[in-house]
Chain A
């Protein structure tokens, strides 16, 4: 007999997410992913000055802040006919590089780590490292004072939970250090971004922040410190966990899903955009021994609203999408729409990017037996953090050359005013995955605005054909021996780094009726 459990809210993610799973014989048999909050940003943008879009859409999400600012500015660049000078692109790349570093560190340490370690094992630390003893004493003092919030309550540790006091205490020490490192990474981005969260310098046509040499030197010095932490702590931790205590979880491939991956590609290394840090491409039905990557074509994207709280409409390309809410729709269970590529549900994000790029480090891990799933997602995220750091050095070198040349430019001022009519699609590989913004301009105002964001791809509900979204599919077969303690479910979901405010820039009404579950 199948047993249904609901986890609402899923915490340590951005936004409001509910996951329902049906468990049979200790495994997930079926799953539903629901976004439960909506604001209606896209609908609100209709009729506004198009330049507002980059500022407003940044507020889709304050965790992955400014990723929408960039995607939006790129859509507007095309619609306005603006050509961003290479100097402007270099600064856009650098501030987003800082955002990546902060975001990936935050995700691994603050948002995910607690799922894999038994923090209370710290009490058994017997070593004599002064720093670690201080961490032990801090946690023990919280326990003695009977006030361990927000570290407890928690799901109970299971067979996969790391309980070795030496490993756990070192991880918690790094958790505390990472807090400080991502503050510094955000400060690094603020050098040109103005402030965080939500940069102020990315606008249609380029950026507003004219750089000076002191800022350049500050950025580079701060980058050195990040590089050291990423290489000596973050990557080491991911390797130690992934190939050590979590190796079994990795080889079981828990959280695999559809094995379809999409990357829109991003981060030019040259002014002609010939070489990208993350190449674009699509993989359908991954065969790890023979990875076939198709060309990415955004025209093959459609969005279904069959199971979402929007007015019924056949699946359409985002240019023709709309945002009319229908909160009373019977079959609907989410504010997230269901994007499909050529009719197929896709995974986007670090794992998709590293597979599409055929990254040798990741491929090597897969060859050794790590199946693409929850653990591989953490590995891919660490690998690409290093790629971004390396790219930041390259961009800084180029910026130094550019900014000391006469006639250095950061903005296409000739195309600052909105055109009478225009159309543009802007893409960005955000930390959580492929992101697209589509804008139509009429009478110098926004006529239609749509965004398909990483968590819309990953968190989508079922489409017309009943195909599950990637979160839903990746939960099928996940071991849940104790329905009271569904720790593997949250491990899988958090491995995607969900960002629900992004996914539902629209609206989410949920009826109070208890949905009827179809037992298949």
Chain B
């Protein structure tokens, strides 16, 4: 009888976590006895508290500042598990202006209610203009204000993509975009921020971090630049590059038309692999099909704080960073035995 007032959903979920129906009811009865309230009243009360606000799924707010929506598209790039199962089964996406059904005041109402309720994971895409708030208004308020108020009541903040992590390309623009950590520091808001940089965010990095937070209830270990250590900070792209043998042999690609040079080192074209501590070379992109270096493109260190103002010009070895890399090469610091 008592079980009737508990939804099957809640009980099933508790069982997934190793709590049987019997154990749960026993727990409720004991607690109720201690508190001196009716067992029935208490059981239904707990069930309500656990189920009503979140249905077992953690609430997620996805807000977009000065962005191109490339990171939103990267989110939908996940196939294992299919993105639909994440959005419908694992998390409760209250606000994401690219996918949500609501628009206008309906969308804003959900946003406000969720912020008021608190306890959600905040995902931020895009930079925040620091030159003038009016460079980005939305729903009638500056984006900076939206970021501050939604961060304040969140449990953790994921800054996805180069713009959100460190300002990225907008940092070089007249609007002077800055990253989430900088905005929160200025406003003296102390929340754990995970920088999942690269332009756009790597779908694996994003979904892996979300899964980590869901499973452990904590943010993952971070490297010195605030990025998940499981993906960033360990080995440079240069050290893990499949073109590495050609670097060691002094073979540098000059002509993209020459099949002999196809796999030669791209350093002299402007590749920034030696300063890029990201796992793209081993993980690759698009389910392993390819990535920047495999299509003859260059690594532009898009996951590093130096992107983009310190890595321009992109397609020659003349940028501030490329000069540094060439000096490292001169000093023998890029060779295998030293790296």
Binding site for B on A (CB under 8 A): 6-16, 36-41, 43-44, 48-49, 51-52, 55-56, 59-63, 65, 85, 106, 110, 114, 119, 138, 141-142, 144-147, 149-155, 176, 179-180, 182-183, 186-187, 190-201, 203, 206-210, 323, 325, 327, 408-411, 413, 486, 490, 501, 507-511
Contact = CB atoms under 8 A, between A and B. Distances in A.
24 contacts: A10-B103, A37-B136, A40-B175, A44-B173, A49-B314, A55-B315, A62-B72, A144-B7, A145-B51, A145-B56, A147-B55, A154-B102, A180-B82, A183-B76, A183-B78, A186-B77, A194-B285, A194-B293, A195-B292, A200-B292, A208-B296, A209-B296, A327-B132, A508-B137
B71 to A, nearest CB: 7
Given A9-B138, A62-B72, A149 B92 contact: yes
Main SS class of interface, B? loop
Contacts of B140: 8
Contacts of B67: 62, 501
A323 B135 CA distance: 14
Q: From B79, B94, B312, name the one whose CB has the most chain A CB atoms within 10 angstroms.
A: B312
Nearest to B297: A200
A443 to B, nearest CB: 13
A182 to B, nearest CB: 8
A193 B290 CA distance: 8
Nearest to B313: A49
Contact of B136 (A44, A413, A508): A508
A155 B103 contact: yes
Given A200-B297, A206-B256, 15 more contacts: A12-B100, A48-B312, A48-B313, A49-B316, A51-B314, A55-B300, A138-B88, A149-B110, A150-B96, A195-B286, A197-B200, A208-B296, A209-B297, A409-B257, A413-B254
B329 interface: no
Contacts of A508: 134-137
Nearest to B97: A11
B296 A197 contact: no
A210 B69 contact: no
A7 B104 contact: yes
Contacts of B69: 14-15, 61-63, 501
Interface in B287-327: 287, 289-298, 300, 308, 312-316, 318
A36 to B, nearest CB: 5
Contact of A190 (B88, B174, B262, B286): B286
Contacts, number: 285
B99 A110 contact: yes
Contacts of B289: 187, 190-191
B54 A37 contact: no
Interface of B: 7, 9, 51-52, 54-57, 64-74, 76-79, 82-84, 87-88, 92-104, 106-107, 109-110, 127, 129, 132, 134-140, 143, 169-170, 172-175, 177, 199-200, 254-257, 259, 262, 285-287, 289-298, 300, 308, 312-316, 318
Contact of A153 (B57, B102, B254, B316): B102
B138 A37 contact: yes
B199 A59 contact: yes
Nearest to A499: B69
A81 B262 CA distance: 25
Nearest to B107: A11
A74 B301 CA distance: 25
Contacts of A411: 255-257
Nearest to B79: A183
B286 A196 contact: yes
Contacts of B287: 187
Contacts of B101: 11-12, 114, 119, 150-154
A180 B106 CA distance: 29
Given A44-B173, A208-B256, A147 B136 contact: no
Contacts of B294: 194
B107 A198 contact: no
A190 B79 contact: no
Contacts of B173: 39-41, 43-44
Contacts of B7: 144-145
A186 B286 contact: yes
B271 to A, nearest CB: 11
A510 B137 CA distance: 7
A52 B297 contact: no
